[in-house]
Each structure stands twice: as structure tokens, then as C-alpha cells.
């Protein structure tokens, strides 16, 4: 946004100004909807200005800015409008652009009937330095603007356009009369006319016969020439330039086979509609067909592949020179008119071929006087295109198409190859308007789209189905996916499976839109072929009324896409080697808004199309910020040679593309393609007129694509290597070294990431070579296809299982009607093995919460929240989060696709509840997921197992062995070896086949080893024996133990060492199998980056506690990683009740079923059954369930097992045993009231909200920020109300608080709203509600008030939590300027309304007083809280932290705290509220503890802390 400052004269030193002398005007911004074209954008601006004239603001002066997003080819012009003192609105317009096409802007302006005016100037600076320089009255400034071409548009009674660029309209670059001979004259005319036609890039191949053309091009001051010794590479380079610039390049070549070398490029240009002008030099007619050297028949040399051919006569002064000009004009018209393509002009020359003087008659220049006096081409071709609205036949045909679209049942928008950025823009607007699913090809520019926000709802307005290709591997998906209307923009589609899917939809309405008239319909089922640009079609479509159909089908595709995409991403991350699909997946990391991608052919483009992903940039421009409210993403320029899809000339094309588009280009090619065009390195080395580029070469020593074709399965490997793979051993590093090009070789994922980042930041070209293997690449592709197919089948199973009938209006969602929780305590028969706190007790308990969630259809799901006492969460922390969830979840919608467990819960928690997933306690998330899954199962009359794994129902007759799961017994080895062995024998006799023994609780590992030796001797070798050290041993102790038990056949030792860094070392030195438990307990939301460190073959198992790691979604991901690596995934309970154990039984069965599928897909032998760690059920002396838990001896096997059927029955018929329920929370009502208070001769009616107990001695007063209300604190107050009395107020001027009897006295009102008056008012409120001290919690403006009160009223304030607060500006001058700005902002609210002000305002400093000096004498404990992403206030908080003297040795200073809250910005309490809840409660607890200690009330202190 832009701040404008206006003064009536020169700016004086602000230190000498009174407050009223400095006037600042705030710029108010109005954002108009994105425009389809620049013309539409200008029209909307003009309309807005006209409306402003008829309905001007009430203010006599001010700054008003309109902004509109337009296509990227115009670089998102930001129009800046201002209203001067005169009544007529005058506006100035500037584009914030680095590169702007002047002709496009001029064309758009002409359509609005405006007049060009070169008198207006524009100013760009880097900011306003008030008090340092003069600032003109009518000058507006744009901060941090970059420009290459400038424009200034002035719309007023004198409307004008300015462009301060070089203007050579009145003179030619040079005179023709000075040419030495007639060859030079004709060559100069050709080059000059090319320049006038906009062709300024010449690719010149060396040769004698072409000397006149080469000399003329090199001498022209306004054209750029590049040369290469290889005509083939040079021609492809010209194609690349044309792709990037959307303008034709000129190729100059000599005669003979040099012309033939252009043939592959001409074919590519013809097939992919790329403009190209070939100027081939030739021998004159007398040297044809007579054996003259380097002479071949060049007439119609390229046949039908060129749009136009003409062979000029040899230059002569007997022919008017204007014939040359009209020939060029005609050729370029053919090249740039639909169908665009290459043209060929053959240019015979007689000697002399150099600039040797030779007389020629100037009479041949007759008729060129007008042409020589300007810079326009001789013949201007004008195409009159009638609007379809004016053409009755066309309008009728288009109405037929629109009617098909209106009546659609299931429509899909397919986006093929698009070469222009403004067409990508049009497609995005069209997709948002249509609301159809979008399948985007890699060459569309939106497959690797840039998301304008990292928020999960960013793509909600457009449904991209990026992974449909792999979803179609499933027969079931192919049968399901059927569209009745297909709209395809752009002809070419890379994916063969998607093409086959579209063909399978026939008969349907297939509407293909492309600029050219050619037939691109290999399946012969296009029903409507529209020759139009995407922009023109979008313009027609978006003016039509298209009804919004039911989105249920969209939810299906979204679920399918999410499931397959997550599966692909998972396997790409899990694979430790650097695979080719992984490369395709991460290339977007090297992209930015100023970069482009050139993608090679063969396997490279197919991988990019299948595995490419979108990306989010950290740096967004102002245009991006305004755009993201309308569009979720922007496209990126992507190009490739798909006309004939050859692998020749790709490197040269990419280099030309970099020149043409003027971006940093990332080129991705295979090794064979690279070797096919190594001469392109000679062009790369020249580095002319382009930014640095990165060339990523995937070197698998041959043609990998053939390994994925059927020929690889039936052909001898020797034949494959020689005739298909064309295996080689050529050094790419050596080739780069020979050409002086930087080369990097990468072999790992980390090296690839580092290389991509460094190359994109560097200022030199770089070739990155990635080593790969044909065989391993083929194997990995096969695995991904298999797992993606399974994921698609799974998604389809969930869809068919959980989808409501078509008649149900809510689609695939259901609302939560109510939520409650109950606090339970059940007795255990022994102390938990995880605890070290119960050694002095004889009765042991397990405490937790039962979460009850009722859906609107009456279905109830139960979940258990039971934090372990050894974890970082406790019951009080957990209950606060449950109270918060109680408030925010009521009435929210849950998605029936949550059971897919593929980031579905993470997305829902963040998107629906607005909570960063990482801030939920693991046990809370586990219980929440448990309750939701059970509720969904109940809602559909199904079991939890069947909604997690719906495929089970189809194969249930084959899964009898999975009707139950094995249970591992648990022993706390506190007795002698013989005693422990006796317990183990009893367990074996009872029916257990696996036993885990706790170790590392004795003084010496030798004693633990003796226990294990004795147990193994007594139970025999057929029992799985596990030991768990819980990280209690040092490395040396663990090694000592391992040496003593290495011959006793342990299944694994769990967490043997204290430090994670020693685990791999222990595996290698001890040789014992190891299991991970605590190591994965605190893994991040995406645990794969952590797990990859433990891919050691001696790590054989992962022990997963859902309540500790954070739920079933994360547990499923960890288990899948373990299965892929051939490790055991063991679900372990944490002494929960029968409710959680029943869920764990079903979840364990689900994982075992998944593992069986994984083994089958990977062609591994079936995995043996796993005994899961649910033996804690034996600790339950009491249980929260009324029905018995279904764990016992299986009559058919004789083993202790958990029954799937019994667990399902318990969950379906679950009844709480209320004997063990201490209390149930069903909600707490917030008390709202008004307090009438007087302060300084004024009266207020203060709106108050209150919740919580009044008798526990702690009161918290919450103060909101500017433009906020007390409502923003209510969710947090709900959470904390169990620990303190919580009060929030509407500050004066906000919400429902009323100011009485202030009249119209503005001076009085200004003093009324000073911080001193407000603080006095709040002090009276505190005295009214409590006789005790209170703790203040304030955000932003409220934080400033809280800080002021803490510093001034320490007798009434116990402490203050300062959220994103500041003591104010230290500098007096800055404070004066800030006050002037704030006055301006206040006026703007009155003038323009609140909404426009909110769009402009970021933060306000509303107070005159600075508190920095007072901080040094602070007597009240402060907690300074800032968001991790709020860099400005982090710096402020750090400075405050030092000023308050936190390191002083006194009681108050020891209570000062500074906390940076993760995953949030400025509004920490709204963006990440859960940490704030805990911080506030802990701060209040610490204050209360100190107070009780001072009173000596130890008993109350103990009770309070409990």
C-alpha cells in the first residue's frame, strides 16, 4: 500500500512544529476485481473515477487510490488516483512494473479515446523522509518500486498518457544512401523493416553468401545479434526466444546444407505455432543446377512446414526497393497471423558479398520518402475481427456452447499448453468463475502454480485435480470418472491416461478452444472446435450466467486428489535415494515470481506432469497481496518443445527462452537430450541479454523412458542397452568444463536442494547434473504407480462408504450439534510402568477425560483424552484446551472424508477451527480424532475399522486371520530374576506369545541381563521377548547389557540409550535389533524428515503411542513409513481405559491390513503377525466402560488376542460407568452486563463480559486492540475460566461501550480518549469488580494501556501480559509525525467509512506519551509475548526485555518473561490462541504462588498448584 503525504509548502524541521501544524493525508485504497485484460482494467478504473466525480467524498482534499490486477503481460499495473483541492477529481496512474509492453498499453489506452500527453512526469523513490526534503503538493510516491519502462496517465478534463522512453519516431536509425552497394541496400532494407515490424532479435549463422545480411544486422543500432557455428542449435535458440517473447526471431544462414540444418526447428515451429522468420542466403539463378559450390535447390525447401515462402530476385537497382519491404511485411503477417508459424524468404546474392563500393542507382528508392521519415513498416496489415455479438451465425453457435455449459451435470476444465502469461491469467479467472474441477497440464503454467498464501483455504475457490493421472491407474476410478461437458483450453495434453479418460467420456460435449484452426483431435471426438484465444473465450463465458451446480462431485474429486497426492508425496519423501520423480516434485523450490521453467521431452516432461507440485513464495508484492483476495494463485511461465516432441535442440531452445522472457529460467532435461544439443553450450557461454539460468540434467546414462514401455519386458537387456537406451559413458562435467560453464554434481536430496538454491541466487549460469539409474528409476516408478492405485481405491472406498444420498443437502459434511467432556478417575491394580512418582503409594489411579461429540443427525462419538504424567502436558493444561474446543467447535462442520488420514485432520483443524495443528496437545488431538472417527462411524452405521479401511468389507472372507490381533504382555521387572521369570511363565501359560520387560531400573545392567537370561531360559525360544530401557542407560551401560544378552534372541531392545545421536552407533556396535519409542514421541507434524535418519536395518520396530505422538493421522503415517522400510509398527497403549483400548485394537488391525497390502505391492513375502503393546489392560482395576473389554484367550488359537468384533461392539454400545466420573462439563455461560462509571467529569456505560469463579482469588482483565471488541477474548476466557475469573471490556469508542454527555466539544473528546483517562476509567472498573489486584492481558492498543497501568498503578495491578505491544515511539519528532498520521486516519474513517480504512490500516499509535523511561522503574511482573513472524514487534519486545531489567536480582525481575509464540504473526491471540491460554494461566499461577508464599499460606499454595 502507498502512503501519500501532502503539504502546502516546503517541509520544515518537525522538531519545531506544534501538533496541529503537521498535516498528513492517509491514502485510502479501493481494490477493484481482477480484470481479464488490460483494456478491462483501464475501463474499470475509468468507471471508478467517473463514479467518484458524481459521488465525491465529503472531504475537500485527500488521497484515494484505486488498484486493479491485470494480466501479467502488463505486470499488474497499480493505478494510483488522487483528488486535489478542486472539485473535479484528477487522477495519476503509475504501473509498478519491471517490464511493461508499451504497445499493449498504448493500444488499450486508444480504445478508451484518451490523448497522449508527454508533459506529465512521474517520480519513484524509496520512501518519504519527512523533515529532510521538500515534498511537492501533487507528487505521489510508490515505495520500493522497480521500473524499466515508465508511464504516467492523467485522467481529468485533460486526459493524457506519458511514456518517458526513447522516442525515435521522427528519424531513421541510419540512412540508406550510405550503403556501399545494392546488396547492402537490400540487406539494410530487410533488417530495418524487420526492426519496424518488431523483430529485433537476429540469430546469425556464419557463412559467406549471407554476408550482406549479417553485416546489415550487426550494424543496426536497435537490433540484437547472436551467432553460433551450428545452424540447428541456432534455429532452436530462435524458437526459444519466440516462445519467451511472443515475437518472432530472425534466422540468417548461408546457402546449402546450412539451410537444411534448420529443418528440425522449422518443423517444431510449424507444429507448435511459433513465429519464425528464416532468411536464407542463396546463389543467384545462374549458379543453380550447374555444380556451383554450396548450391542446392532452396526453393520451397521446407515444403508445407512454412506458412509463407518467397524467393527474392538477386538485388538490383532495376527493381523498386519497396518490393523488398512489402515482401517482408507480407511474410511477417503470415508468421504472426493464425495459424502462427515459420516463414521463409530466400535471398540470392551476387558478388560482391562485402561492403566493397559499387555504383547503384538511387532511383530504386523512389516512393520511400514517407517510409524514411518515420519508423512505421511500409505496409500495415489490419485485421478486422467482428465481435461474435455482431455476427449472427457465430453468436448462435456460441449460444449453443454456452447452453451446453449451463446444463452441465459433471463438467471439467482441462488446461493444455498455454504460451502466454495473460492467457494463463484468463484461465484462472475462468476457472474461478466456472467452479469446475481443473486438470492442468505441466505446460499450462498453472500446474506448478504459485500460491499467494500458505493458508489451507487458499485453493478453495478453484479445485485443481493435480493427481488425476495416477488416480486413473485404478479401474474403479476409471469407471467412476465420467464427465458430460469437457472444456479444454489449449490443444496439447501430456498425460496419456487423462487423454484416454476424456475419450472414455464420449459421447459428451467436448469443447476445444485454441487460437489456431488446425485439428488437434487424435481421438476424433471434439464436438465443438472454437478458434479463439483463451482471453476471448473467457470474456464471452464470464458474461454468461452459469449456474452453480452441486459441489458433491467436487468433494469426491477433491478427496481422491488429496489421497493420491499425499500418497505420492509420502513415497517421494520416504525414498532415501534421489529419484527422478522426486526431482520433478521439488523443482518448484527453485522457482520464484521472477523465474520461468523450460521442460525437456521424453521422461522429464512426463515426470513433471505427474509429480510436479505448487509452491508458496515467502516474498509477495503489493499486487500479490491485493490479488489473493480474488484469486488463490498465479501461474508461472512454462515452455517446452511439444510441437514434434523431439529431443533435439532443447538446450538451445531453453537459452533462447531465457532471452525472450527475461526471467531466470530453470531448464530440466535428460542426459540424451543434453548430449543431443551440446553445441547449445556455445550459445549459453555468450550470455547475451538474459538473466542467469540453471540447467538441471538428469543423467541415467541412457534413455530411461524405454524402461517404462512394454518393449522393456520382452527384449534382451543387451539389445535394450544398445538400441533403445543408447547407454553412454560421456562426462557431462567434461563438456561443461570445455565450454567454461559452471558444473555441479549432486547425488543426494540435500545436495540437490542446496544446488538449486545456490544456483538461483548466483549470477552465473550453472549446470546441475543429477545421477540416476535406469533400473532403479523404473522400479521406483512401478512402486509409486502401485501405491497411488491403492490410495485411489482406498479413497474411492471411503467415498462410497461415507457419501450421503444425493437427496441430502449437506453433501459430504455434517455439523457438530453439541460437545461435552467428563473427568474420570479409575483405579489401577499396580503403578504404571511409565511412572516414577508412585513409589510411596499403595493405591494408583489413572485420570483423564471422556470427550462426547454429538452430530446433527444424533450420532454420538466418544474419545478419550488421557495425558501421561511423564509428558509435557498435564490435566489442567488439557482441560483448558478442551474448554477452548468446546467453545469453537459447536456448530462447525466435519468432513466425512476425515477417515482417509492423509492430512485430512490437519487441514480440518487449521482450516475449520483456525488452530495451528502444532499447538494442540498430543493427547487432546488424539481424543478429538477418536471422537470424530467414532461419530462418523456411528453416523453411517458402520464400524471404525470399516471406515478406516473400507476395502476390508470386499475381502472379509479372506481376512479371517485379522478378526483379532495379538497382544504383547508387559512386565515391570522389579523382582529377582527368578520372580520375573515366574511371572513370564504364568503369562505364557495364560496364552501370551510376546512379552515386553522393563529394564534399566536397576543399579547395574548386569542385573537386568540376568533377568533376561533367566526369563528366556524359562519361557523358551518360541516366545517373542522384548525389553524396554526407556532411555535410562548411558551408551556404555547399554553396550554392556547388549553384550550380555546378544545370544538370547531378543526381538528388540526399545530405546537403549539416553541420546538420540547414539542410536545408530549402538545398532552397529551391539548388533542387537532396536525399537524406537520416545524418539518419535516428539516428532514434528510431518515426521518423515525425522524418521529418515533412522532407516538403519537394525532398527526393526517403531512403538507408536497415539496419545503421545498426537493422534491417528500421524500414527498412520509413521506406521506406513515403518512398513515401507520393512519394520514393525506396534501400537502401544498408555494405560488408558477400555474406550481408548477398543479404538487401538481396531486401529492396530487397520495397520496390519495396510501392511499386508504393502508387502503385496512391494512383492515382499507376507509379514508375520505383530503383537501390539496393549497389555496395559491388565492394569485396569476399574474401567470407564460398562461392557467388558474384548481381550482374552482365543479358543481357536489358544493365544491371548483382542477381538475386532468385541471392540466394535463396545464402541457401538458404549456406556460410561458414572461411578468413576467426577464431573461433566457441558458449557459455561458468559455473563454480559454494563457498568456505569464516571471519570474526569465524563460518564461511561462500559460493556463487560465475565466468566469464571469469583472465589479463587485471581482476576484477569482482558483488553482488546484497536477496532476490536471484548468478543475476541471470549474463546480464551472460556479456556481459562476454570482457573481464574475472566473479564473483558469494550474500551471507549469500541463495541457497545457508550460515552455519555461529552457533547460536541472536540477538545474535550480528544482529552477524554487519552490513555490517562482510559486508564483511570479501567482503574475504577477494577475497584468495582474486585478489592484485590488483577492481572491485565492486552493486545496491541490494549497492550499499551495494560503496560501504562502496570507502570502507574502497581498497587492494583498484579502483573501484565503484553501481546504485541509497544511503549511507543522514543523519538519526539517521530511521535509528532505519528500523531499527524493518526489524525489523518481518524478523518479518513469519517470520510470514507470503516471498511476502506481497514483495507489500508495496519497498526495505529494512538497515544502521545512514550513509556520507555518508565520501563526502567517497572515494579510489576511483565510477560512480553510476540508472534514468531512479527519481526517488528520481536525487535520491540527484545528492547523492552532489556529495559525492564529482567536480569536484576529482585523478586519482580525474576517473574519477568519474554515468549515468542510459534506459527503466528502480530495477532497472536487470534492466530495461535492455545499457547496464549497456557502462558496466561501459568503467569497468573506464578503470581499467585508468590503471593501465597509472601502470606506464608503453604496449604493454599499446594491446593492452588494442584
Tell me the catalytic residues.
Answer: 996, 1105
All three cell numbers of 466: 493435480
1456-to-1355, 1362, 1453 alpha-carbon distances in Å: 17, 11, 5
| Gyration radius of the chain's alpha carbons | 38
821: β partners: 851, 1225
Q: How far apart are CA 1265 and CA 280, in angstroms?
A: 72
* Nearest CA among 426, 556, 418, 432 for reference residue 483: 556
How open is the CA angle 1389-1392-1394, to the nearest 5 degrees? 50
**Could you give phi then psi for residue 737, rounded to 5 degrees?**
-65, -40
Q: State CA 869 to chain mean position distance.
A: 37
Q: How far apart are CA 1050 and CA 1071, in angstroms?
A: 11
Q: Are 57 and 91 in contact (CB under 8 A)?
A: no
Q: At what angle do helices 552-574 and 1112-1124 cross, to 10 degrees?
A: 50
Q: How far apart are CA 1356 and CA 1368, in angstroms?
A: 23
Q: Hey, how many other C-beta atoms are within 10 angstroms of the C-beta on 782?
A: 15
Tally helices (H) and strands (E) across the chain: 53, 51
How open is the CA angle 321-322-326, to the nearest 5 degrees? 130
Which residues, 6+ apart, have CB-to-CB distance to 607 below 8 Å? 580, 581, 583, 584
169-to-107, 176, 373, 944, 1213 alpha-carbon distances in Å: 17, 17, 8, 77, 87
Question: Which residue's entry shows cell 503393546?
Answer: 1173
Q: How far apart are CA 107 and CA 1492, in angstroms?
A: 79
| Residues comprising the chain, all counted | 1506
Q: Are 411 and 431 in contact (CB under 8 A)?
A: no
All three cell numbers of 602: 521424453
* Nearest CA among 879, 839, 805, 863 for reference residue 1225: 879
Question: Which residue's entry shows cell 461429540?
Answer: 853
Q: How far apart are CA 808 and CA 1268, in angstroms?
A: 39
Q: How far apart are CA 1099 and CA 1074, in angstroms?
A: 5
> Buried b / exposed e across 263-276, counting CB within 10 Å, b at 16+?
bbbbbbbbbbbbbb
464-to-227, 490, 492, 557, 1397 alpha-carbon distances in Å: 43, 17, 18, 9, 34
Q: How far apart are CA 963 and CA 905, in angstroms?
A: 27
Q: Are 1128 and 1100 in contact (CB under 8 A)?
A: yes
Q: Are 1048 and 1011 in contact (CB under 8 A)?
A: no
All three cell numbers of 70: 491485470
* Nearest CA among 206, 285, 307 for reference residue 298: 285
What is the dihedral sign for C-alpha 1001, 1006, 1007, 1013? positive
Helix H, strand E, coil C: the string for 968-982 is EEEEECCCCHHHHHH
1251: β partners: 1286
- DSSP 8-state assignment for residue 1185: B
Q: Hey, how many other C-beta atoms are within 10 angstroms of the C-beta on 442?
A: 27
Amino acid at each position: 500500500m502507498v502512503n501519500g503525504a501532502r503539504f502546502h509548502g516546503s517541509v520544515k524541521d518537525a522538531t519545531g512544529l506544534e501538533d496541529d501544524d503537521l498535516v498528513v493525508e492517509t491514502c485510502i485504497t479501493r481494490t477493484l476485481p481482477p480484470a481479464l485484460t488490460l483494456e478491462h482494467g483501464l475501463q474499470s478504473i475509468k468507471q471508478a473515477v467517473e463514479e467518484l466525480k458524481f459521488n465525491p467524498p465529503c472531504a475537500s482534499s485527500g488521497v484515494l487510490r484505486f488498484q486493479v490486477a491485470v494480466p501479467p503481460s502488463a505486470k499488474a499495473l497499480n493505478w494510483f488516483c488522487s483528488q486535489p483541492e478542486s472539485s473535479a477529481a484528477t487522477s495519476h496512474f503509475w504501473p509498478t512494473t519491471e517490464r511493461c509492453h508499451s504497445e499493449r498499453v498504448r493500444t488499450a489506452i486508444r480504445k478508451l479515446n484518451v490523448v497522449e500527453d508527454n508533459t506529465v512526469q512521474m517520480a519513484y523513490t524509496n520512501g518519504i523522509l519527512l523533515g529532510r526534503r521538500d515534498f511537492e503538493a501533487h507528487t505521489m510516491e510508490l515505495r520500493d518500486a522497480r521500473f524499466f519502462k515508465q508511464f504516467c496517465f492523467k485522467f481529468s478534463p485533460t486526459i493524457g498518457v506519458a511514456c518517458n522512453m526513447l522516442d525515435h519516431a521522427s528519424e531513421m536509425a541510419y540512412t540508406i544512401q550510405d550503403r556501399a552497394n545494392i546488396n547492402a541496400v537490400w540487406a539494410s532494407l530487410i533488417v530495418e523493416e524487420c526492426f519496424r515490424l518488431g523483430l529485433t532479435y537476429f540469430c546469425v549463422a556464419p557463412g559467406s553468401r549471407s554476408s550482406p545480411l549479417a553485416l546489415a544486422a550487426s550494424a543496426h543500432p536497435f537490433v540484437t545479434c547472436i551467432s553460433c557455428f551450428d545452424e540447428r542449435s541456432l534455429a532452436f535458440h530462435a524458437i526459444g526466444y519466440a516462445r519467451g517473447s511472443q515475437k518472432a526471431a530472425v534466422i540468417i544462414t548461408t546457402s546449402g546444407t546450412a539451410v537444411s540444418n534448420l529443418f528440425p526447428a522449422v518443423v517444431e515451429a510449424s507444429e507448435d505455432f511459433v513465429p519464425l522468420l528464416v532468411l536464407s542466403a542463396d546463389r543467384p539463378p545462374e549458379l543453380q543446377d550447374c555444380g556451383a559450390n554450396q548450391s542446392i535447390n532452396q526453393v520451397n525447401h521446407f515444403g508445407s512446414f512454412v506458412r509463407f515462402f518467397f524467393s527474392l530476385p538477386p538485388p538490383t537497382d532495376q527493381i523498386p526497393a519497396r518490393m523488398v519491404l512489402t515482401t517482408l511485411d507480407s511474410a511477417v503477417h503470415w508468421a504472426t497471423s493464425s495459424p502462427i508459424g515459420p516463414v521463409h524468404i530466400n535471398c540470392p546474392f551476387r558478388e560482391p558479398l562485402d561492403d566493397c563500393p559499387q555504383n547503384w542507382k538511387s532511383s530504386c528508392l523512389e516512393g520511400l520518402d514517407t517510409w524514411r521519415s518515420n519508423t512505421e513498416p511500409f505496409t500495415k496489415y489490419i485485421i478486422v475481427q467482428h465481435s461474435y455479438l455482431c455476427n449472427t451465425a457465430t453468436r448462435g453457435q456460441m449460444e449453443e456452447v454456452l447452453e451446453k455449459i449451463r446444463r452441465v451435470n459433471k463438467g471439467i476444465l482441462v488446461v493444455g499448453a498455454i504460451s502466454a502469461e495473460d492467457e494463463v491469467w484468463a484461465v484462472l479467472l475462468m476457472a474461478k468463475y466456472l467452479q469446475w474441477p481443473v486438470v492442468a497440464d505441466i505446460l499450462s503454467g498453472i500446474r506448478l502454480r504459485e500460491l499467494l498464501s500458505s493458508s489451507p483455504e487458499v485453493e478453495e475457490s478453484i479445485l485443481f485435480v493435480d493427481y488425476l493421472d495416477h488416480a486413473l491407474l485404478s479401474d474403479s476410478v476409471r469407471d467412476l470418472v465420467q464427465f458430460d461437458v469437457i472444456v479444454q483450453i489449449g490443444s496439447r495434453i501430456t498425460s496419456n491416461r487423462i487423454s484416454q479418460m476424456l475419450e472414455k467420456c464420449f459421447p459428451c460435449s467436448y469443447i476445444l478452444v485454441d487460437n489456431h484452426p488446425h485439428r488437434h483431435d487424435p481421438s476424433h471426438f471434439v464436438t465443438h472446435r472454437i478458434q479463439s484465444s483463451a482471453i476471448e473465450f473467457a470474456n464471452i463465458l464470464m458474461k454468461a450466467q452459469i449456474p452453480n451446480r452441486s459441489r458433491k462431485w467436487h468433494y469426491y474429486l477433491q478427496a481422491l486428489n488429496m489421497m493420491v497426492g499425499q500418497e505420492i508425496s509420502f513415497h517421494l519423501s520416504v525414498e532415501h535415494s534421489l529419484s527422478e520423480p522426486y526431482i520433478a516434485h521439488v523443482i518448484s523450490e527453485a522457482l520464484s515470481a521472477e523465474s520461468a521453467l523450460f521442460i525437456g521431452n521424453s521422461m522429464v516432461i512426463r515426470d513433471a506432469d505427474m509429480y510436479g507440485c505448487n509452491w508458496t513464495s515467502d516474498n509477495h508484492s503489493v499486487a500479490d497481496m491485493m490479488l489473493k483476495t480474488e484469486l488463490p494463485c498465479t501461474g508461472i511461465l512454462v515452455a517446452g518443445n511439444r510441437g514434434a516432441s523431439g529431443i533435439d535442440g532443447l538446450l538451445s531452445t531453453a537459452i533462447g527462452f531465457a532471452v525472450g522472457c527475461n526471467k531466470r529460467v530453470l531448464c530440466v532435461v535428460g542426459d540424451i537430450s543434453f548430449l543431443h544439443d551440446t553445441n547449445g553450450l556455445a550459445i549459453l557461454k555468450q550470455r547475451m541479454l538474459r538473466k542467469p539460468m540453471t540447467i538441471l540434467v538428469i543423467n541415467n546414462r541412457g534413455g530411461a523412458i524405454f524402461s517404462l514401455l512394454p518393449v522393456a519386458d520382452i527384449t534382451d537387456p543387451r539389445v535394450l542397452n544398445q538400441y533403445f537406451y543408447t547407454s553412454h559413458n560421456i562426462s557431462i562435467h567434461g563438456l561443461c568444463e570445455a565450454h567454461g560453464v559452471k558444473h555441479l554434481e549432486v547425488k543426494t536430496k540435500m545436495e540437490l536442494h542446496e544446488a538449486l538454491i545456490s544456483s538461483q541466487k548466483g549470477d552465473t549460469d550453472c549446470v546441475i547434473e543429477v545421477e540416476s539409474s535406469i533400473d532403479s528409476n523404473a522400479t521406483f516408478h512401478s512402486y509409486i504407480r502401485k501405491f497411488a492405485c491403492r490410495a485411489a481405491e482406498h479413497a474411492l472406498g471411503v467415498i462410497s462408504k461415507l457419501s450421503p444420498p444425493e437427496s441430502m443437502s449437506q453433501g459430504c459434511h455434517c455439523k457438530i450439534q453439541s460437545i461435552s467432556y467428563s473427568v474420570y478417575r479409575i483405579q489401577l491394580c499396580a503403578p504404571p510402568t511409565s511412572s516414577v512418582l508412585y513409589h510411596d503409594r499403595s493405591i494408583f489411579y489413572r485420570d483423564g477425560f471422556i470427550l462426547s461429540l454429538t452430530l446433527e443427525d444424533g450420532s454420538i462419538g466418544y474419545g478419550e483424552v488421557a495425558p501421561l504424567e511423564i509428558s509435557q502436558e498435564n490435566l489442567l493444561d488439557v482441560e483448558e484446551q478442551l474448554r477452548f474446543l468446546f467453545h469453537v467447535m459447536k456448530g462447525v462442520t466435519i468432513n466425512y472424508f476425515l477417515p482417509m488420514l492423509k492430512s485430512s485432520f490437519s487441514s480440518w483443524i487449521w482450516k475449520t477451527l483456525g488452530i495451528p495443528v502444532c499447538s494442540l496437545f498430543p493427547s487432546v488431538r488424539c481424543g478429538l480424532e477418536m471422537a470424530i472417527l467414532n461419530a462418523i462411524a456411528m453416523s453411517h452405521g458402520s464400524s471404525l475399522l470399516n471406515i478406516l479401511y473400507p476395502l476390508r468389507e470386499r475381502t472379509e472372507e479372506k481376512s479371517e486371520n485379522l478378526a483379532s490381533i495379538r497382544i504383547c504382555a508387559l512386565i515391570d521387572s522389579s523382582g529377582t530374576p527368578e520372580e520375573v521369570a515366574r511371572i513370564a511363565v504364568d503369562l505364557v501359560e495364560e496364552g501370551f506369545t510376546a512379552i515386553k520387560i522393563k529394564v534399566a531400573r536397576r543399579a547395574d545392567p548386569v542385573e537386568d541381563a540376568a533377568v533376561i537370561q533367566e526369563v528366556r531360559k524359562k519361557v523358551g525360544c518360541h516366545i517373542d521377548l522384548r525389553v524396554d530401557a526407556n532411555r535410562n542407560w548411558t551408551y556404555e551401560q547399554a553396550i554392556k547389557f547388549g553384550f550380555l544378552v546378544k545370544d538370547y534372541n531378543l526381538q528388540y531392545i526399545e530405546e537403549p540409550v539416553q541420546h538420540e545421536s547414539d542410536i545408530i552407533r549402538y545398532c552397529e556396535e551391539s548388533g542387537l535389533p532396536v525399537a524406537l519409542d520416545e524418539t518419535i514421541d516428539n516428532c514434528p507434524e510431518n515426521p518423515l524428515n525425522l524418521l529418515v535418519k533412522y532407516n538403519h536395518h537394525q532398527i526393526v520396530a517403531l512403538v507408536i503411542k497415539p496419545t503421545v505422538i498426537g493422534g491417528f493421522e500421524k500414527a498412520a503415517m509413521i506406521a506406513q513409513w515403518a512398513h515401507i522400510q520393512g519394520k514393525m509398527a506396534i501400537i502401544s497403549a498408555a494405560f488408558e481405559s477400555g474406550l481408548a483400548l477398543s479404538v487401538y485394537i481396531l486401529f492396530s488391525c487397520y495397520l496390519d491390513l495396510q501392511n499386508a497390502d504393502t508387502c503385496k505391492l512391494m512383492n515382499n513375502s507376507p509379514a508375520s503377525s505383530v503383537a501390539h503393546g496393549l497389555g496395559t489392560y491388565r492394569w485396569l482395576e476399574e474401567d470407564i466402560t460398562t461392557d467388558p473389554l474384548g481381550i482374552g484367550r482365543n479358543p481357536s488359537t489358544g493365544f491371548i488376542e483382542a477381538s475386532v468384533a468385541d471392540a466394535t461392539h463396545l464402541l457401538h454400545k458404549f456406556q460410561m460407568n458414572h461411578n468413576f466420573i467426577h464431573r461433566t462439563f457441558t458449557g459455561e455461560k458468559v455473563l454480559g452486563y454494563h457498568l456505569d462509571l464516571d471519570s474526569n467529569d465524563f460518564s461511561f456505560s462500559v460493556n463487560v463480559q465475565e466468566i469464571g469463579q469469583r472465589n479463587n482469588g485471581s482476576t484477569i482483565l482482558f483488553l482488546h486492540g484497536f477496532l476490536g471488541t471484548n468478543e475476541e477474548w471470549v474463546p480464551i476466557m472460556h479456556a481459562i475460566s476454570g482457573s481464574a475469573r475472566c473479564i473483558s471490556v469494550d474500551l471507549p469508542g469500541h463495541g457497545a461501550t457508550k460515552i455519555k454527555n461529552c457533547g460536541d466539544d472536540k477538545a474535550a473528546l480528544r482529552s477524554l480518549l487519552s490513555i490517562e483517562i482510559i486508564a483511570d476509567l479501567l482503574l475504577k472498573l477494577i475497584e468495582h469488580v474486585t478489592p484485590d489486584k488483577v492481572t491485565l492481558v492486552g493486545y496491541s492498543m490494549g497492550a499499551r494501556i495494560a503496560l501504562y497501568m502496570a507502570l502507574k498503578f502497581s498497587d492494583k495491578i498484579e502483573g501484565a501480559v503484553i501481546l504485541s505491544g509497544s511503549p511507543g515511539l522514543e523519538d519526539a519528532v517521530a511521535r509528532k509525525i505519528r500523531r499527524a498520521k493518526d489524525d489523518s486516519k481518524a478523518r479518513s474513517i469519517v470520510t470514507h467509512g470503516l471498511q476502506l480504512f481497514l483495507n489500508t490500516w495496519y497498526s495505529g499509535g494512538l497515544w502521545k506519551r512514550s513509556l520507555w523511561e518508565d520501563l526502567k522503574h517497572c515494579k510489576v511482573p511483565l510477560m512480553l509475548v510476540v508472534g514468531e513472524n512479527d519481526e517488528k514487534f520481536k525487535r520491540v519486545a527484545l528492547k523492552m526485555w532489556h529495559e525492564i531489567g529482567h536480569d536484576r536480582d529482585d523478586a519482580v525481575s525474576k517473574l519477568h518473561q519474554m515468549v515468542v509464540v510459534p506459527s503466528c504473526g502480530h495477532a497472536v491471540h487470534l492466530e495461535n490462541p492455545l499457547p496464549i491460554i497456557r502462558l496466561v494461566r501459568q503467569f497468573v499461577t506464578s503470581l499467585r504462588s508468590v503471593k501465597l508464599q509472601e502470606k506464608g499460606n503453604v496449604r493454599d499454595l499446594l491446593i492452588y498448584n494442584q
